[in-house]
Amino acid sequence: MTIFIQLHLLTFVPPSNLNRDDTGTPKTANVGGDTRLRLSSQSLKRAWRTSEVFESRLKDHLGSRTQRFGDHIREKLIGKGVPSDIALKATRKVIEVFGKPEDSKVEAKETYTKQLAFISEAEKTAALELAEKIAAGADVDDKKLAAMVLKRADTAADIAMFGRMFADNPDFNREAAVQVAHAITTHRVAVEDDYYTAVDDLNEGRENVGAGFVGEAGFGSGVFYLYLCVDTGALVRNLGGDEELAKSAIAALVEAAATVAPNGKQASFASRVRSHFILAERGSDQPRTLASAFAKAVEPKVAMETSHKRLLAMRDKFAKAYADSDTASCVMDLQEGEGALADIIAFATDWKA
């Protein structure tokens, strides 16, 4: 029986531009006919994966998403006395495991892969050892290259949580054990423009009087609803049966979701945030987002107070309509002075695979 951990978070974000589109404007979504601010799941996961929270809780169990791992292999080979041309040939052969090499005449990119690859530390070690064998003249069967490097179970908790895809080696793909929704504001929002200037400190005003630079940047503010779902069974399987590492991964995920946000324009807005309200659920009932609580936008002036009431009311309606009976919950509510992040983490890691 699979146990699901679901997290519902409400976080107030002051004026900011944490996650912007190709025009530099904060990302938005139309929900219920109203414009809402949006934080993409991709931006959230990267912020968490590269955070100090993950580094401290999951040290030595994190992967790297990169096109440039071949650089490391080639440099290591050359550092061990392998001639440059042989090192390049061995490197390009090995990185085919992670993706097709870049077709580039630019020397700096000869060891790049065309796509980003999500690689664990164990796979990095295996790839380097294989490259050393090839550079030394070992005859390696091309059909066995992937199996010599890629792993079917992870020591990298972030790969186990968020998954990966190798188009040319699908047997080593990883189905994500954690699903992360795009965060949206619970109320309508109008994106505003910040018209700003910079003054030239050495301009004495004799000519070009005024600003030395003029710019414009969008920003917005609001209460965001974020939903996450963890399939603990899938997470443990992805980690090769390591239940303790799975629990450490969930603890890191809970803490990061509550305390870490994308850092776009941080120097301009100092929008460092922490969640005000967290509802954690644990059980075998079919998971479901509670985003429908905000299909009709709440009143912006009372967004926080109204949002958490709507969230709990929608939870109760789902439980009654679908006869959910195997889901326990734990709440942290700053406004009511109820619970703490440590309680949420303890609750989310209290299960047996």
Residue 168, pLDDT score: 85
Q: What is the DSSP letter of 200?
A: -
SS percent in the chain: helix, strand, coil, step 5: 40, 25, 40
Provide the strand spans (E) within the chain: 4-16, 28-31, 34-39, 64-66, 117-119, 178-180, 183-185, 192-198, 213-231, 277-283, 327-333
Q: Where are the alpha helices (DSSP H) in 98-182?
A: 121-135, 145-149, 157-162
Cα gap 98→250, rounded to integer Å: 27
Cα gap 273→259, rounded to integer Å: 6
Token readout for 291 is 């985003």
Residue 236, pLDDT score: 97
Token readout for 102 is 């870049």
Provide the strand spans (E) within 166-276: 178-180, 183-185, 192-198, 213-231
Residue 353, pLDDT score: 82
Q: What is the DSSP letter of 142?
A: G
Q: What is the mean pLDDT of each run of 10 residues along the chain (353 residues)?
A: 95 95 92 97 97 96 95 95 95 93 78 93 95 94 91 91 92 95 97 82 72 79 98 97 97 98 88 96 97 97 95 96 94 96 98 90
| pTM summary value | 0.92
Residue 197, pLDDT score: 74
Domain extents in the chain: 4-60+176-348, 65-155
